[in-house]
């Protein structure tokens, strides 16, 4: 994490605030602090914020505020970040059925790691993964904390469509596909929970700063039971607060 942030122009209507050159919980926390603080300040002309692993992209209207004027306000906000408060993070428990048609690459991941498929599931479900940021597609979480044991290369040829809810691994990352889309991640399981629902507010089940814990399901019957409850609106995702 930098001692002082870098302010970089991004065209004539945006500025990037870089807070570090590493991907770490500390730098990402600073990004989220700054996002909350800038949003709360309601700076005239600022109309969109896009937090990432280590920086914040700020869109603004140059007819409402000049670049130099915006930098002055941002520098002042950044100096007082300790006054910004974030909600306490939560651990969102995502029920997941591993292997079979839902996780066709589970055996490959196991062979690549030199372990059994049961060990892959044990390792994958044994950690809380920090949600660094959201992106790629609506509701897609970029997670940190995957065990090095499970680092696995992407598919050489991406699939043209991956079902919504698919849980995958690509290199040093793991994640969940919230909507059906093409992708090259190794699929190890699937959750029946809807990760993104445009009819809800907020539409995304997850938010940056929270954590995911994947919870293994016993089998297809349990998967279908939760799927039915999700469709009927009777299923509530479990969330644990972190003090």
pLDDT given at position 158: 95
* 189 band by pLDDT with thresholds 50, 70 and 90: very high
Q: Is 12 found in the same domain as 129?
A: no
**What's the farthest any 2 CA atoms get from each other in the chain?**
60
Rounded to whole angstroms, how far apart are CA atoms 108 and 237? 30
Sorted by sequence, the CB contacts under 8 Å of residue 35 that are 6+ apart come out as: 49, 51, 56
What domain range includes position 47?
Answer: 6-83
Does some domain include residue 1?
no
| Final residue of a structural domain among 31, 49, 83 | 83
Question: In the predicted model, is pLDDT for residue 243 greater than 70?
Answer: no
Q: Is 181 found in the same domain as 99?
A: yes
Supply the CATH number for residue 121's domain: 2.40.100.10
pLDDT given at position 199: 86
Q: Is 145 found in the same domain as 71?
A: no
Q: Is 33 found in the same domain as 104?
A: no
Question: In the predicted model, is pLDDT for residue 215 greater than 80?
Answer: yes
Q: Is 190 found in the same domain as 129?
A: yes
Supply the CATH number for residue 12's domain: 3.30.1360.40
Q: Is 237 found in the same domain as 167?
A: yes
Q: Is 120 found in the same domain as 49?
A: no
More confident residue, 133 or 82: 133
Sorted by sequence, the CB contacts under 8 Å of residue 25 that are 6+ apart come out as: 130, 144
Sorted by sequence, the CB contacts under 8 Å of residue 185 that are 6+ apart come out as: 154, 155, 162, 166, 168, 169, 170, 175, 177
* 61 band by pLDDT with thresholds 50, 70 and 90: very high
pLDDT given at position 84: 56
pLDDT in tens, 114-128: 999 999 999 999 999
What is the total count of domains within the chain?
2
pLDDT given at position 83: 56
Q: Is 125 found in the same domain as 232?
A: yes
Mean pLDDT of 197-201: 87
Mean pLDDT of 19-43: 91
| Final residue of a structural domain among 32, 50, 83 | 83
Cα separations in angstroms, 22 against 18, 25, 27, 117: 10, 9, 7, 32
pLDDT in tens, 135-183: 888 899 999 999 999 999 999 999 999 999 999 999 999 999 999 999 9
Does some domain include residue 134?
yes
pLDDT given at position 136: 80
pLDDT given at position 85: 64
Whether pTM > 0.85 for this model: the answer is yes
């Amino acid at each position: 994490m930098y001692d002082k942030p870098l302010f970089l122009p991004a065209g004539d209507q945006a500025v990037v605030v870089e807070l570090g050159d590493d991907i770490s919980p500390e730098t990402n926390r600073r990004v989220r602090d700054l996002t909350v603080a800038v949003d709360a300040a309601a700076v005239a002309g600022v109309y969109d914020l896009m937090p990432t692993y280590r920086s914040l992209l700020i869109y603004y209207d140059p007819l409402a505020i000049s670049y130099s004027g915006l930098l002055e306000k941002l520098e002042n906000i950044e100096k007082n970040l300790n006054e910004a408060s974030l909600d306490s993070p939560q651990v969102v428990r995502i029920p997941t059925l591993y292997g079979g048609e839902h996780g066709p690459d589970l055996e490959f991941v196991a062979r690549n790691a030199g372990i059994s498929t049961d060990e892959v599931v044990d390792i994958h479900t044994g950690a809380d993964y920090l949600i660094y940021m959201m992106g790629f597609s609506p509701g897609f979480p970029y997670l940190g904390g995957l065990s090095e044991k499970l680092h696995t290369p992407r598919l050489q040829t991406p699939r043209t469509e991956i079902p919504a809810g698919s849980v995958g691994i690509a290199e040093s990352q793991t994640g969940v596909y919230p909507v059906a889309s093409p992708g090259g991640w190794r699929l190890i399981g699937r959750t029946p929970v809807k990760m993104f629902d445009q009819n809800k507010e907020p539409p995304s089940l997850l938010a940056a700063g929270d954590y995911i814990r994947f919870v293994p399901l016993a089998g297809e019957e349990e998967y279908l039971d939760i799927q039915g409850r999700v469709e009927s609106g009777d299923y509530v995702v479990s969330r644990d607060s972190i003090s």
